[in-house]
Amino acid sequence: MRRAAGVTLIELLVVLALIGALLGLGIGMYANLGKQGVFTATVGRVLSTLNRVRNSSMTHPAALQVHAGDPDKGETNAVQGLEFVTMFQTQCEPPAEGTNFIVGALDRNGELPPAAVFKDGVMGKAIFLEGNAIRCGNHPAYDATRGIAIDLWIYPTVATAGTLVRRGTGLDLSTTREEEGVGVRWVLGFASSGAVVEGAKPGSVTAETAEFHAKDAVLPLNRWSRIVATYDGAHVVIAVDLGRGPVERLRQVVNKPLAPSSQDELFIGGGKTSFRGGIDDVRLEAVLGESYEPFAPLIRVEGKSRRIYFLNGKLDPSRHSRPESLVLTFGKRRKEIVIGLEGNLIQK
């Protein structure tokens, strides 16, 4: 007698098990492809940012800020394009005969204190201060609201606290007294909650000052060292250069607009406790930074957080003497982007 056509329960269970296995495999492969797509998109985003920064540097200095964090410590990874617009800049060279000011960029000169002393500096000559200050006047260009950078070389002769750059109560970069030299302290004024900065009349913005002390940044006496202090709208960074390039000594997350001291003049030195020693190659720049957008959690940047500077479409020769490498990783995947001295990009 023939068995009626149909499917037994066992056969049905076997088919369902096979379908489940195939679905699981497919979903896993699809999810992996999705993650791989995120990595590919991130690499594309980095290349796009690099090209944008390189192009911007044709008209003014620009940089790629590399944020290399440890996810195990809750830190994020990202790249961020920055542009630098000159506020004040001087090589601190002696004045022309019959004048009493040092020449600054964009006709923003500095009035010298009486009996100013000039000695050999990092490049050419440098001014040495003994409790006095260079008066740089007031200018609307000093009213940075998004970000600011101060870059200068110093030659401390006394281990004491002293003002390097100041403008009212909202900007004060100074040295601190340390056992083996001097440290770095930076005070910035931020707009109070709800305060409107853009288009505000002078003096109408209430500032809340914050102090940032790079305790591990000790600069030796009687030797030239460089300080690079930057606020890009997302992070306050203080780096020091003892001759081998800038090394970050402080990085702190801050996300507030600056409150410009529109009524105040800019000074190099001076204050209650003026810096004693040499100052050379001073640069103050307004920083225009892209919004900070971290990578996906599993995508990391190898190495340390750093800044890659561009000038005229190439790596800035005053800051980079060899090609720079940027490495992104995602699990076993690895992508290296090499930036040549001429600004060319090579993917590996």
CATH number at residue 271: 2.60.120.200
What are 153-172's pLDDT values in tens digits?
Answer: 999 999 889 999 999 888 99
Query: Which residue shows structure tokens 């005229």?
Result: 312
Domain coverage including residue 71: 29-77+294-347
Q: Residue 203: its pLDDT value, please?
A: 47
Do the Cβ atoms of 326 and 335 come closer than 8 Å?
Answer: no
Mean pLDDT of 237-256: 87
Q: Has residue 115 been placed in a domain?
A: yes
What are 126-136's pLDDT values in tens digits?
Answer: 999 988 899 99
Q: For residues 329 and 201, state if they share a domain.
A: no
φ and ψ at 273, to 5 degrees?
-130, 100
Q: Residue 67: its pLDDT value, please?
A: 87
Q: pLDDT grade, residue 197 (50/70/90)?
A: very low
Q: Which of 274, 289, 304 is the last residue of a domain?
A: 289
Q: Has residue 1 been placed in a domain?
A: no
Share of the chain above pLDDT 70, in %: 90
Q: For residues 65 and 89, state if they share a domain.
A: no
16 compared with 283, residue with greater pLDDT: 283
Do the Cβ atoms of 187 and 209 come closer than 8 Å?
Answer: yes
pLDDT exceeds 60 at position 198 = no
Q: For residues 59 and 150, state if they share a domain.
A: no
Q: Which residues, 6+ apart, have CB-to-CB distance to 256 below 8 Å?
A: 190, 191
Q: Residue 201: its pLDDT value, please?
A: 47
pLDDT exceeds 60 at position 96 = yes
pTM of the predicted structure, to 2 decimals = 0.76
Q: For residues 186 and 319, state if they share a domain.
A: no
Question: What average pLDDT does the chain have?
Answer: 85
Cα(133)–Cα(112) distance, integer angstroms: 7
Q: Has residue 8 been placed in a domain?
A: no
What are 39-69's pLDDT values in tens digits?
Answer: 889 999 999 999 999 999 998 889 998 988 8
Q: For residues 226 and 314, state if they share a domain.
A: no
Q: Residue 206: its pLDDT value, please?
A: 58
CB neighbourhood size of 237 (10 A) = 24
Q: What is the DSSP string of 51-117?
A: HHHHHHTTTS-EEEEEE---GGGT---EEEEEEEEEEEEE--PPPPTT--EE-BGGG--EEPPTT-E
